Amino acid sequence: MILVQLVTDGLLVGAVYALLSSGLTLIWGMMNVVNFAHGDFVMLAMYVAFIAVTTLAIGPALFVPLAALVLFGVGVVVYYALIRNVMRGPMLAQILSTFGLGLVLRYAMFWVFSANFVSLPDTLVGGVLSVDGLRLQYSRLLAGVVALLLTAALHLMLTRTALGSRLLAVAEDRTAAMLVGIRPDPMQALAWGIGAACAGVAGALIALFFYISPLVGDSLVLIAFVTVCLGGFGSVPGALFAGLAIGVIESLSSWFIGAAWKDVVVYGLFLLALWVRPQGLLGKS
């Protein structure tokens, strides 16, 4: 029974990892840029949720879409103001620019909120669902299900709609996309918007059951990197499966080996998997 509980807990958290990582993998897939500020986007969204709850007294039905919207805007602005320019520079400039952006965001938050941990009232989505001895916190259940649905929706958007087809066209061959009459810039801005919005929703959902601090994005972005690597760079379904797998591995290892060791297990398996299949477990060779 404990196994079922652990696996379910892991899958719910894993779904949030999947959504978070889908944003990262989309941006990578579109333009081969690693967004090192992705964790700080998550952090930003958590503060958006916090501010919305404390000042507007709204629930997740409103603050999750709000965080998505705000972060979408952040993503688009970041693309036009920063990324578009540094794309012309060397690889190192691209890496350092998103890294620098992340630093600015987190220290701006230190400045506004100081280093104190804050959290949303746990009565916001309180209570526990009990089925057949399985105990699921409503907050995590909500987060997991919403994240899973949105990740699936992103995949369907990319593979089944004309807009998705254009995004994938720019991702595969920017010049060919231009030839058929697609303007790459708006598509890349859109990818940044959607990618950041994924981080935004994930952050707002995580805030339901996790503390908030300016550095909270650090551990999350590492998980996202691991997920993207395992799932294959640029693949949303890959991110989904890898995210779920990592959630379950975390959950199992923190129970059986100890919470302090779960990160060692996850990153250890990550290195092992990369060593075996550098293109990602689910990536194309």
- List contacts with another protein (CB under 8 A): 162, 165-166, 168-169, 172-173, 175-183
Q: By C-beta, is 71 or 236 nearer to another protein?
A: 236
Q: By C-beta, is 214 or 234 nearer to another protein?
A: 234
Q: By C-beta, is 122 or 173 nearer to another protein?
A: 173
Query: Whole-number minimum distance, CB 164 to another protein, in Å?
Result: 10
Q: Is the dihedral of CA 197, 157, 145, 249 positive or negative?
A: negative
Which of 200, 197, 196, 202 lies closest to 223 in space, CA to CA? Answer: 202
55-61, long-range: CB < 8 A, 24+ apart: 59/124, 59/125, 60/124, 60/125, 60/142, 60/204, 60/205, 60/208
Query: Whole-number minimum distance, CB 182 to another protein, in Å?
Result: 5
Q: By C-beta, is 135 or 284 nearer to another protein?
A: 284
Query: Whole-number minimum distance, CB 276 to another protein, in Å?
Result: 25
Query: Whole-number minimum distance, CB 178 to another protein, in Å?
Result: 4
Q: By C-beta, is 121 or 181 nearer to another protein?
A: 181
Which residues, in sequence order, are CB contacts of 39 under 8 Å at separation 6+?
Answer: 102, 199, 217, 218, 219, 220, 221, 222, 224
Query: Whole-number minimum distance, CB 284 to another protein, in Å?
Result: 9
- 123 CB-contact burial (10 Å; exposed 0-12 / middle 13-18 / buried 19+): exposed
